[in-house]
Amino acid sequence: MPMTPKERMAITRQQMPERDPLERNQDFKEVNVGFGEAIAKLEAERCLQCKDGKCMYGCPVGIDIPGFLDCIAEGDMKGAAELLLGANSLPGITGRVCPQEEQCEQVCIRAKGKHGEPVAVGHLERYVADWARENLDMKTLLAEPTGIKIAIVGSGPCGLTAAGELAKKGHDVTVYEALHAPGGVLTYGIPEFRLPNKIIDSEVDRLRQMGVKIVCNVVVGRTFTVDELMNEEGFQSVLIANGAGLPIFMNIPGENLKGVYSANEYLTRSNLMGAYTFPEYDTPIIRGEKVVVIGGGNVAMDAVRTAKRLGAKEATLVYRRSRKEMPARVEEVHHAEEEGIIFKMLCNPIRYIGNDEGWVTGVECIQMELGEPDDSGRRRPVPIKGSEFVVDCDLAIPAIGTRANPLLTSTTPDLKLNKWGYIEADESGATSKPGVYAGGDIIRGAATVILAMGDGKTAANAMDRYVREKNDLPLLEEVSVAPPMECGG
Amino acid sequence: MFRILDTRQLASDVKWFKIDAPLVARHREPGQFVIIRLSETGERIPLTMADADPENGTIELIVKAIGKTTKLLCTKNAGDEITDVMGPLGMPTHIEQVDHAVLVGGGVGTAVIYPLAKALRDSGCYVTSITGGRTRELVVLEEELRKVSDAVFATTDDGSHGFHGTVADKLRELIAEHGAAAATQHRPPSQGGPQGGDTDGGGESDTLPQPLPEREGSVSPVGAIYCAGPVPMMQAIAELTRPLNIKTIVSLNPIMVDGTGMCGGCRVTIGDETKFACVDGPEFDGHQVDYRELWDRLTAYRAEEQDALKRWEEHECKLAGATK
């Protein structure tokens, strides 16, 4: 007997169990503990099973959300996992780092009204992904092998997603990663406490089980050029998903003092190189007592919360606009606050101050006020004359964004770039170079994991069509390889 | 995993390695480097490639045992493996079209100028190499340099070997002897070198060239300096050549992590611009470098480096004790 909408409406949103803020800000273990079976089932039952649910349109990778939630509610975990994994190759990652509150959950019908609370799609996605990791054989999702070789440059969210999609479509996929470990920003950027490396490893292992080859230590643009991949290595199509890996500095005095790190360097040392365990791992990291992080995005949140965990007595976030304009996820800001991060809003650094030995000792800031809206629609911050003040620090971390890395594009002259150096791609991901597609931050500038994944999926579909047409192979059905199915139970 | 195929001890703490790394070897050009990591817990360190053989898929490294990672690497031998070798990285050396280039290497910086000597000589230029150290044991690669240079001078601060003085002293003497060709007076690229760039057999050969016959007549004025070594040494060379307006290229060795421009840890100030040594360098105009800042930044982890080295040496001692 299916539940009535009224019964479903009567269930309130289940809370994600979290570790105690003052305990967790001392270590790098995951903050969110994850749903148990009973909570997951209860939460899934809150879904009203809308026909043509809006949530699916809010999802960049087009997951059949009501479908997989229904499977959870019915206790059919295999069905839930097949639906989820059919649409999304990295659910363990997206379930943890997607801004669901701006996507599926924002448009959930249960979010409507004054006291409305959306179904916790993200937490349930994570729950199913964690189940699938132990229990689902991915081979059941693979199409007939085509023998067509496809190369993917970069093993971040866009590249891995595309790899999964293309493997499901039967292609022989090789992913080239410049660093020594796969995952891109998921590995070097996002800290353990938000996305444990073992989750990335297991998602990558799942891709390997699907036949995807992952080759590390290959810098496309230096080790190979894109042309060589296509002309000499036999790849019929190439996806460029190498991210926007060049950190932006503000070009203010003192930026090269010791104790000023780009957020990329700080997070790479800690996450990729394991510097937070030094001397167990060889890579050192400066552990500040008073740390200032500049910026208002997710990377800034990651950096400032890492600083707290590395022993900072004062970890301060400096942002030039107000709280409302912060681009970081609500959950991250909330977690940071709980963990004792100090927020200094409406202030902007104008120079770093150093001592005789070249170490940073402070950041001089100027107070800002909000003026007229700028191009982004947010109110433009304007400095208030004479309001300069100094924030003492022994570590300062600008986290103000990245720009396009020219390493690959400079060796691929027939690839059309926009004026910022990002690759121009159409809505399918196709670039100006036949057979070459691009997605993620290298086409859109610094964005989110899920948008990069959406690009990866879109490009994978287009690449599949491209190589199938080129090789006179029948086209696969569009949507997904695993057709929506009735749940057992 | 990357297998070590051959090693040779060049000095008590300097070791040469031949490593199987076909993808890196294929595109390597002089002046480029690799980043290596020795184990899952290891750090990433940049090392200049001394040479590469694209056909056999090998690269060569010359490593001086200084810190934990380089000391550990120098314990490895043929048959051992290196976890990660990534490259080739950095911009290739810009081969200046000059008649006479002087290469200056201080200590292990000599490993950086060695491949440049070969490349420059292949381009047809008369190559003088100066390799120096505080004392005899610290002068490295002197014999190897002889095979790729027209003239080689070793210097020691204490006079225990070769010229008594610093590499800068020796360079000053050379310039006094041969004169200097200011940066504007370089020969145009189309013109051949003293031996004719296009006809120089060394340029076509993959093997080490043989020691060169003595050249007849006078040596051309010094047209370019390539320099690698400790920061104060590079600065001294740059200060020496600045008033003479001799093109001076220095190869910088800041601390790096990823090597692809992603972290900015290796940033250096060149003129009034910040550059990333890993992608914009490692070679820069020596007259534009902010040496003070470079030196400062190199000291950022001194305490941690010493700590890591001490722990490693204690650990090694225990192991050695246990096997006795």
Query: Residues of A with CB below 8 A from B81's CB?
Result: none
Helices (H) and strands (E) in chain A, counts: 19, 15
A184 C-beta neighbours (distance < 10 Å), count: 29
Which residue in the block uniquely carries the two structure tokens 């002293």? B169
Residue A481 has pLDDT above 50, yes or no: no
Query: Residues of B with CB below 8 A from A245's CB?
Result: 260-262
- Spatial strand order of the sheet with B126-133 comes to B163-164, B151-156, B126-133, B100-106, B224-228, B247-251, B283-285
Q: Which helix (H) or strand (E) holds A134?
A: helix A121-135
DSSP B130: E
CA-based nearest distance B42→chain A, Å: 5
Instruction: Please check whether residue A223 touches B, CB under 8 A.
Output: yes
C-alpha of A411 from chain center: 27
The mean pLDDT value for B124-138 works out to: 90
Q: What is the three-class DSSP state of A446?
A: coil
| Cβ neighbours of residue A442 closer than 8 Å, sequence gap 6 or more | A154, A240, A241, A242, A243, A244, A404, A405, A422, A423
Residue A250 has pLDDT above 70, yes or no: yes
pLDDT at A446: 79
The mean pLDDT value for A130-141 works out to: 83
How far apart are the C-alpha atoms of A375 and A352, rounded to whole Å?
29
Structure tokens at B128: 């003088």
How far apart are the C-alpha atoms of B107 and B109, rounded to whole Å?
5
How far apart are the C-alpha atoms of A460 and A457, rounded to whole Å?
5
Location of each CATH 3.40.50.80 domain in chain B: 100-251
Return the ∠ at Cα B95 (arms to B209 and A405), rounded to 5°.
Answer: 120
Instruction: Please check whether residue B273 touches A, CB under 8 A.
Output: no
Query: Residues of B with CB below 8 A from A188's CB?
Result: 258, 262
Report pLDDT digits (tens) over B181-238: 877 644 444 333 333 333 333 333 444 444 454 555 578 888 899 999 999 999 999 9
The mean pLDDT value for A162-172 works out to: 94
Q: What is the three-class DSSP state of B53?
A: strand
pLDDT at A434: 95
Q: What is the CA radius of gyration of chain B?
A: 19
Cβ <8 Å between B267 and A178: no
Instruction: Please check whether residue B29 touches A, CB under 8 A.
Output: no
Query: Residues of B with CB below 8 A from A246's CB?
Result: 261-262, 264
The CATH code for residues B2-89 is 2.40.30.10
| Cβ neighbours of residue B91 closer than 8 Å, sequence gap 6 or more | B31, B32, B279, B280, B281, B282, B283
Report pLDDT digits (tens) over B72-93: 999 999 999 999 999 999 999 9
Which pLDDT band, with edges at 50, 70 and 90, does A245 fall under? confident
Q: Strand A379-383 vs strand A360-373: parallel, antiparallel, or unpaired?
A: antiparallel
CA-based nearest distance A185→chain B, Å: 11
Is the previous residue joined to B221 through a cis bond, with omega within 30 degrees of 0? Answer: no
Helix axis angle, A449-470 to A157-168, nearest 10°: 40
Q: Which helix (H) or strand (E) holds A363?
A: strand A360-373
- Residue A217 backbone phi and psi in degrees, to 5: 65, 25
Q: What is the three-class DSSP state of A436?
A: strand
* CATH architecture for residues A5-136: Orthogonal Bundle (1.10)
Report pLDDT digits (tens) over B236-245: 999 999 999 9
How far apart are the C-alpha atoms of A255 and A294, rounded to whole Å?
12
Q: What is the three-class DSSP state of B42?
A: coil
Residue A387's Cβ-side half-sphere holds a number of Cα atoms within 13 Å equal to 13
Which pLDDT band, with edges at 50, 70 and 90, does A448 fall under? confident
Structure tokens at B264: 């900015």
pLDDT at B201: 36
Residue A284: which of B88, B264, B301 has the nearest Cβ? Answer: B301
Location of each CATH 1.10.1060.10 domain in chain A: 5-136
Pairs of residues, one from chain A and one from chain B, whose beta carbons lie less than 8 Å apart:
123
Q: Which helix (H) or strand (E) holds A229?
A: helix A226-231
Report pLDDT digits (tens) over A256-279: 999 999 999 999 999 999 999 998
pLDDT at B91: 93
| Cβ neighbours of residue A181 closer than 8 Å, sequence gap 6 or more | A187, A216, A272
pLDDT at B191: 38
The mean pLDDT value for A459-467 works out to: 96
Report pLDDT digits (tens) over A206-217: 899 899 999 999
Of the listed ranges A171-185, A386-400, B113-127, B225-239, the one predicted with least confidence = B113-127
Q: What percent of chain A has pLDDT over 90?
A: 63
Of the listed ranges B153-167, B255-269, B300-314, the one predicted with least confidence = B300-314
Cβ <8 Å between B297 and A255: no
Report pLDDT digits (tens) over B313-324: 888 777 777 665
Averaged pLDDT score across all residues of chain A: 90
- CATH fold of A140-245+404-470: FAD/NAD(P)-binding domain (3.50.50)
How far apart are the C-alpha atoms of A444 and B304, rounded to whole Å?
39
CATH 3.40.30.10 describes domain B100-251: no
Q: Which helix (H) or strand (E) holds B277?
A: helix B277-280
CA-based nearest distance A448→chain B, Å: 17
Instruction: Please check whether residue A92 touches B, CB under 8 A.
Output: no
> Which segments within chain B are labelled E, that is strand?
2-11, 14-20, 33-37, 45-53, 58-64, 81-82, 84-89, 100-106, 126-133, 151-156, 163-164, 224-228, 247-251, 267-270, 273-276, 283-285
Q: What is the CA radius of gyration of chain A?
A: 23
pLDDT at B248: 94
DSSP string, B54-80: TTTTEEEEEEE--SHHHHHHHT--TT-
How far apart are the C-alpha atoms of B320 and B276, rounded to whole Å?
41
Q: Strand B126-133 vs strand B84-89: parallel, antiparallel, or unpaired?
A: unpaired
Residue A1 has pLDDT above 80, yes or no: no
Q: Which CATH class is domain A247-401?
A: alpha beta
A373 C-beta neighbours (distance < 10 Å), count: 10
| Cβ neighbours of residue B239 closer than 8 Å, sequence gap 6 or more | none
- Residue A153 backbone phi and psi in degrees, to 5: -100, 110
Q: Strand B247-251 vs strand B224-228: parallel, antiparallel, or unpaired?
A: parallel
The mean pLDDT value for A76-93 works out to: 90
CA-based nearest distance B167→chain A, Å: 28
CA-based nearest distance A173→chain B, Å: 19
CB contact residues (below 8 A), chain B span 58-87, against chain A: 68-69, 83-87
Structure tokens at A16: 């994600």
pLDDT at A183: 95
Query: To the nearest 5 percent, what fractions of chain B are helix, strand and coil?
Result: 30, 30, 40
How far apart are the C-alpha atoms of B153 and A236, rounded to whole Å?
54
Which candidate, A103, A131, A105, A132, places its Cα nearest to that of A47? A105
pLDDT at A478: 59
Location of each CATH 2.40.30.10 domain in chain B: 2-89
pLDDT at A487: 37
Cβ <8 Å between B23 and A224: yes
Which residue in the block uniquely carries the two structure tokens 């914009």? B280
Structure tokens at B157: 């601060």
In this prediction the ipTM stands at 0.86
pLDDT at B322: 66
Q: Mutate one of B260, B270, B290, B298 to test the A interface: name it (highest A CB count within 10 A).
A: B260
Report pLDDT digits (tens) over B273-294: 999 999 999 999 999 999 999 9
Structure tokens at A37: 């079976």
Cβ <8 Å between A223 and B265: no
C-alpha of A38 from chain center: 29
Q: Which helix (H) or strand (E) holds A197?
A: helix A197-209
How far apart are the C-alpha atoms of B133 and B142, rounded to whole Å?
11
Nearest CA in chain A to B2: A217
Report pLDDT digits (tens) over B24-69: 999 999 999 999 999 999 999 999 998 999 999 999 999 988 889 9
Which candidate, A234, A260, A233, places its Cα nearest to that of A249? A260
Distances (CA, A) of B257 to A154, B6, B228, B232: 18, 27, 20, 23
Nearest CA in chain A to B290: A256
Which candidate, A264, A262, A239, places its Cα nearest to that of A440? A239
Location of each CATH 3.50.50.60 domain in chain A: 140-245+404-470, 247-401
